[in-house]
C-alpha cells in the first residue's frame, strides 16, 4: 500500500506540475512559479481536498532535487571561477548577512516578538535561495553571464557562512550565550572539512572520471558521477554539515575534469525532474489561513527582504570593485529567501526556542519573494539603464573612478621570489596540517561511533583507541615528514634573506646557521605537540605510548623515501589538475575562435560506415600533426560535443567540425573519409 500511495503522490505532483507549467510556458512566465502554484493547488491547505497522502515522501524527493541543483551549480562554477570572484563574493555576502541580520532582528522587536524569535528572523532573512536563483537564471539563459558567476560566488559564501550560523544559533539557543572558543572550533572544523575534501577530491576525482570516460559508456559515467555526488553529500551530512554544501563541493571538483560537458548533458534531465519536485514541495507549504492571520508581518518582511537585500548586496558588490551596472544586477537577483531559511526556522522549532508562527511566515515570505525573483532579474537591465540616465553625473563619475581605483589595486607590483616561496611553503604546510587534522578527527569519530565492522573485532575500548591512533599517525607520516622538510627549507630561506651582512657583521654565518636549525626544530616540535593534543582522547598509557612512538619513529626512518615519493606524487597530481587548461563551454569556444583564427575556415566532414576514422580515438588519428587542422566539434545524434577530448571516439554518422586553412581542411577530409 505504501508503494501505491507514493506512486499516487508522485503522479499527482508530475501531472499537475506538467499542466501548470505548460500554461506558464504558453504565456511566457517563469516555470518556477508554475511549480510553486502546482504545489499550492495539490497541497494539504487548499480545499476541497489534498491530492497528497504523504508529504514526507515528497520532501525526500525534494531533498534530492536540492542536492542535484547544487551539484549542477558546482559543475558550472569551477574552483578557478570561485577564486576569481572570491574577494568580492566574501565582501558582498558578509555585508548582506550583517545588514539583513540586523534588519530582521529590528523587525522582530518592532512586532513585539521575543529576542529569540527576532534573532532567528534575522538569520532567516540573511540567506538567499541558491536553488531558486539557479533555476531562474537557467530559464532566462543568463548562467554564463559575468554577473551570474559573481552571484554564484556570493551564494556559495552565504551557504558556508550559513552552516557556521546554524552552529552558532544552536549554541545560543541551548546555553543562552556564545563564546569565542565555540566560534573558533566551528570555523576550524568547517575549514578542515573543506580542505580535506577539496585536496583529496582534486587529486583523485578528475583522474577517476577520465578513466571511466575511456569506456565510452554514458551509463557508466552517469552512475559514477551520481555516486560521487550522493556519496560526498552523505559525508557532509554525517559530519554535521548541509548536503547542499557537499553536493556543491564535489560538483566544483568534477568541473575540473575534461569530461565536464558530457557529464552536464547526462545530469540535466535527472536534475530537472527532481528540482521540479523541490519547487512543488515549497508550494505544498503555503497555508492560506496563516497568510491571512499574519498578513501585516509577511508584507513588511517581504518589502524589507526585497529592498534591503538589493541595496546591501549591490553595495557590497560595488565595494568589491565591480561597476554599478553589474552591482545592480547582482543585488536584484538575490532578493529572496529560501531553503536555508527553512532550515534555520526548523532549527528554532526543534530546539523549542521560537514561536510556532515563525516557520509559516518564513514559508510565506519565501513563496512571495520567489514569485518576484524572475521579474526582478528580468527588470535588472532596465533599472540599470534608468539609473545611468537619472543619477547625477557627479555620482556616476565618482563611482566610475572608484571602480578604476579598485581595479588598479589588483595590479600592484608582484612580490619577489623569496616572498613567493615563503607564501607557497606556508600555504602548503597549512594544507598539510589541515589534512593531518582531518585524519585524526576521522579516527576520533570512529572511536566514538564504534561502527559495526569495528565491533566485530571484539577488542576492548583501549585496544581500539590505540589501534586507531597508530593507524592515523602512520597515515599522517607523509604529511608530517613533508612539513618538516618545508620547515627546513623555510629556515634556510629566512636565514639567507633576513640575516644580512650589514646587520650581523662577522657573526653572519653563525647566526644564519642557528636560525636555519632553530626554525625546523621548533616547528617540528610544535607540530608533534599539536598531534599529541589532537589525539589526546585516543592516547594509550604512557608505557604503551613510548613503545608506539619508537615504532612510529622506526617506520618513518625506514620508509621515509617512500613517504616523500607518495607526497610528491600527490602534490604533482594536484598541480597538474590546475595546470591543464580549464574545460571550455560552447559559448566560450565560439567566442574565442574568431579572435584566434581570423584567417582560418570551418568545414564539416561526416564519418561514414566505410571511413577509416570510424571507431578510432581523436589522438590516434594524429590529425593536427599530419595536416595542421583541428577537430573543434562533433555533432552526434542531435547532440553537440564542443572541444572534444583527445580520447573521444569517432563514430559512424558523426559530423566532425574542422578548423584550419583551406589546404589543411582538404587534407583532413581525405583522412577522415
Q: Do 90 and 105 belong to one domain?
A: yes
How is residue 511 written as a grid cell? 647566526
Query: Any idea what the CATH number is for the domain that residue 620 is in?
Result: 3.30.70.1450
Q: Do 258 and 371 belong to one domain?
A: yes
Q: Do 541 and 599 belong to one domain?
A: no
Q: Do 536 and 604 belong to one domain?
A: no
What's the confidence (pLDDT) of residue 228?
Answer: 94
Contact 35, 280 (CB under 8 A): yes
- Does the residue 290 lie in any domain? yes
Domain encompassing residue 611: 586-672
In this structure, how many other beta carbons lie within 10 angstroms of the beta carbon of residue 462? 12
What's the confidence (pLDDT) of residue 72?
Answer: 81
Question: pLDDT tens-digit profile of 367-411?
Answer: 788 888 888 888 887 887 787 778 787 777 777 777 777 666 655
Q: Do 244 and 222 belong to one domain?
A: yes
Question: pLDDT tens-digit profile of 408-464?
Answer: 665 554 556 777 778 888 888 888 888 888 888 888 888 887 777 777 777 877 888
- Does the residue 631 lie in any domain? yes
Residue 655 has pLDDT above 80, yes or no: yes
Q: How far apart are CA 411 and CA 399, in angstroms?
A: 19
Contact 669, 662 (CB under 8 A): no
Q: Do 320 and 350 belong to one domain?
A: yes
- Does the residue 394 lie in any domain? no
Q: How many domains does the chain have?
A: 3
Place of cell 555585508: 95
Residue 577 has pLDDT above 80, yes or no: no
Query: Any idea what the CATH number is for the domain that residue 204 is in?
Result: 1.20.1530.20
Q: Do 575 and 593 belong to one domain?
A: no
Strands 639-642 and 601-606: unpaired
Q: Residue 38, Cα to own-chain centre: how many angstroms?
A: 30
Q: Which positions ≥6 away from 550 have C-beta within 8 Å? A: none
Q: Do 259 and 318 belong to one domain?
A: yes
- Does the residue 403 lie in any domain? no
Q: Do 541 and 523 belong to one domain?
A: yes
Planar angle of CA 170, 172, 174, nearest 5 degrees: 65
What's the confidence (pLDDT) of residue 69?
Answer: 79
- Does the residue 342 lie in any domain? yes
Q: Do 553 and 602 belong to one domain?
A: no
Question: pLDDT tens-digit profile of 479-528?
Answer: 888 888 888 888 888 888 877 777 777 778 888 888 888 888 898 888 88
Question: pLDDT tens-digit profile of 206-229?
Answer: 889 988 988 888 889 999 999 999
Q: What is this structure's pTM?
A: 0.71
Q: Do 298 and 159 belong to one domain?
A: yes
Q: Do 360 and 437 belong to one domain?
A: no
Amino acid at each position: 500500500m505504501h508503494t501505491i500511495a507514493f506512486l499516487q503522490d508522485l503522479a499527482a505532483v508530475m501531472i499537475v506540475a506538467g499542466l501548470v507549467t505548460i500554461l506558464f510556458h504558453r504565456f511566457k512566465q517563469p516555470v518556477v512559479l508554475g511549480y510553486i502554484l502546482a504545489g499550492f493547488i495539490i497541497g494539504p491547505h487548499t480545499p476541497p481536498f489534498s491530492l497528497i497522502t504523504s508529504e514526507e515522501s515528497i520532501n525526500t524527493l525534494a531533498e534530492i532535487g536540492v542536492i542535484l541543483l547544487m551539484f549542477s551549480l558546482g559543475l558550472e562554477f569551477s574552483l578557478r571561477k570561485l577564486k576569481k570572484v572570491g574577494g568580492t563574493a566574501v565582501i558582498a555576502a558578509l555585508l548582506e548577512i550583517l545588514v539583513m541580520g540586523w534588519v530582521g532582528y529590528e523587525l522582530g522587536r518592532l512586532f513585539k516578538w521575543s529576542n529569540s524569535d527576532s534573532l532567528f528572523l534575522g538569520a532567516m532573512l540573511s540567506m538567499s535561495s541558491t536553488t531558486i536563483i539557479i533555476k531562474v537564471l537557467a530559464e532566462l539563459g543568463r548562467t554564463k553571464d559575468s554577473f551570474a558567476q559573481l552571484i554564484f560566488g556570493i551564494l556559495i559564501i552565504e551557504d558556508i557562512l550559513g552552516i557556521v550560523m546554524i552552529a552558532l544559533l544552536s549554541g545560543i539557543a541551548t546555553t543562552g550565550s556564545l563564546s569565542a572558543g565555540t566560534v573558533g572550533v566551528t570555523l576550524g572544523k568547517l575549514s578542515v572539512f573543506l580542505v580535506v575534501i577539496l585536496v583529496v577530491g582534486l587529486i583523485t576525482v578528475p583522474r577517476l572520471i577520465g578513466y571511466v570516460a575511456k569506456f565510452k559508456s554514458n551509463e557508466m559515467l552517469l552512475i559514477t558521477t551520481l555516486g560521487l555526488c550522493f556519496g560526498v553529500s552523505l559525508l557532509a551530512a554525517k559530519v554535521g554539515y548541509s548536503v547542499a554544501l557537499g553536493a556543491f563541493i564535489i560538483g566544483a571538483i568534477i568541473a575540473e575534469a575534461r569530461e565536464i560537458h558530457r557529464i552536464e548533458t547526462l545530469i540535466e534531465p535527472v536534475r530537472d525532474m527532481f528540482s521540479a519536485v523541490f519547487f512543488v514541495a515549497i508550494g505544498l507549504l503555503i497555508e492560506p489561513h496563516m497568510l491571512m492571520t499574519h498578513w501585516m508581518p509577511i508584507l513588511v518582511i517581504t518589502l524589507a527582504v526585497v529592498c534591503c537585500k538589493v541595496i546591501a548586496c549591490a553595495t557590497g558588490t560595488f565595494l568589491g570593485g565591480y561597476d554599478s551596472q553589474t552591482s545592480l544586477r547582482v543585488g536584484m537577483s538575490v532578493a529572496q529567501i529560501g531553503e536555508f531559511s527553512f532550515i534555520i526556522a526548523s532549527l528554532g522549532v526543534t530546539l523549542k526556542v521560537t514561536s510556532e508562527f515563525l516557520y509559516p511566515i518564513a514559508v510565506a515570505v519565501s513563496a512571495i519573494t520567489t514569485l518576484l525573483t524572475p521579474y526582478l532579474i528580468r527588470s535588472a537591465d532596465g533599472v540599470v539603464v534608468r539609473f545611468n540616465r537619472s543619477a547625477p553625473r557627479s555620482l556616476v563619475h565618482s563611482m566610475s573612478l572608484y571602480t578604476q581605483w579598485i581595479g588598479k589595486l589588483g595590479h600592484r607590483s608582484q612580490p619577489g621570489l623569496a616572498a613567493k616561496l615563503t607564501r607557497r611553503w606556508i600555504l602548503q604546510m597549512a594544507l598539510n596540517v589541515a589534512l593531518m587534522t582531518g585524519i585524526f578527527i576521522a579516527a576520533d569519530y570512529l572511536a566514538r561511533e564504534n561502527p559495526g565492522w569495528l565491533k566485530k573485532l571484539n577488542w576492548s575500548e583501549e585496544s581500539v583507541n590505540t589501534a586507531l591512533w597508530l593507524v592515523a599517525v602512520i597515515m599522517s607520516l607523509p604529511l608530517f615528514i613533508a612539513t618538516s622538510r618545508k620547515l627546513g627549507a623555510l629556515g634556510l630561506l629566512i636565514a639567507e634573506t633576513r640575516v644580512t651582512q650589514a646587520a650581523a657583521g662577522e657573526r653572519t654565518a653563525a647566526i644564519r646557521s642557528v636560525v636555519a636549525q632553530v626554525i625546523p626544530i621548533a616547528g617540528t616540535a610544535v607540530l608533534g605537540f599539536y598531534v599529541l593534543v589532537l589525539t589526546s582522547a585516543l592516547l594509550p598509557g604512557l608505557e604503551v605510548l613510548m613503545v608506539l612512538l619508537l615504532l612510529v619513529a622506526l617506520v618513518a626512518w625506514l620508509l621515509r623515501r617512500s613517504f616523500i615519493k607518495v607526497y610528491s606524487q600527490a602534490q604533482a597530481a594536484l598541480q597538474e589538475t590546475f595546470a591543464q587548461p580549464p574545460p571550455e563551454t560552447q559559448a566560450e569556444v565560439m567566442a574565442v575562435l574568431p579572435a584566434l583564427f581570423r584567417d582560418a575556415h570551418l568545414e564539416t566532414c561526416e564519418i561514414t560506415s566505410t571511413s577509416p576514422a570510424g571507431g578510432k580515438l581523436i589522438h590516434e588519428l594524429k590529425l593536427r600533426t599530419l595536416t595542421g587542422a583541428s577537430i573543434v566539434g562533433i555533432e552526434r545524434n542531435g547532440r553537440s560535443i564542443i572541444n572534444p577530448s583527445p580520447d573521444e571516439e569517432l563514430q559512424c554518422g558523426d559530423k566532425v567540425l574542422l578548423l584550419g586553412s583551406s589546404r589543411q581542411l582538404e587534407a583532413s577530409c581525405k583522412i577522415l573519409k
